A = this chain, B = another copy of it.
């Protein structure tokens, strides 16, 4: 399974690296297709997962039915999710790789390899939107 360099792959990589924040696959697709209208969404998906598999870009797993997000950062760190719009933000808290040693699966034979610590909250824009429209119930 060698890797080959293609213009589409470079476009995908460049788009992630230059995208501020945590773009979804569709965000990246839209950026690229605005300049290169013939690129296929499937290609973007394939390249994003290949690039993250190869450690060239970061991947933020989907949470709570959201989309997968990508990251120009490749170092391990924690994220926050807006419970209203699914937006991802970086969290300033040192990454604790040793936490695995303290966690014991309550099922025989389950072995832990990594962890994700997700801070759930609400972003500025969504909070302001809530105020305007009166207090809408926060979806469970």
Chain A residues numbered 65-102 whose CB sits less than 8 Å from any CB in chain B: 65, 68, 78, 80, 82-83, 89-93, 99-100, 102
Bound CA–CA A44/B83 (angstroms): 23
- Asked if A107 contacts B90 (CB within 8 A), the reply is yes
CB distance from A50 to the nearest CB of B (A): 8
Task: Count residues on chain A whose CB falls below 8 Å from chain B CBs.
Answer: 46
The answer to the question of A42 belonging to the interface, with a C-beta cut-off of 8 Å to chain B, is: no
A117-B117, A121-B112 are contacts. A62–B65 as well, Cβ < 8 Å?
Answer: yes
A65-B62, A117-B117 known; A106 and B92 CB under 8 Å?
yes
A66: nearest residue on chain B (CB-CB)?
B62
Q: In the complex the two chains form, is A108's CB within 8 Å of B124's CB?
A: yes
Q: How far is the CA of A102 from the CA of B80 in the complex (A)?
A: 13
Closest 3 CB pairs of A and B: A109-B124, A53-B140, A112-B121
Task: Return 5 A-B CB contacts under 8 Å, by A number.
Answer: A52-B140, A91-B105, A92-B104, A115-B119, A117-B117
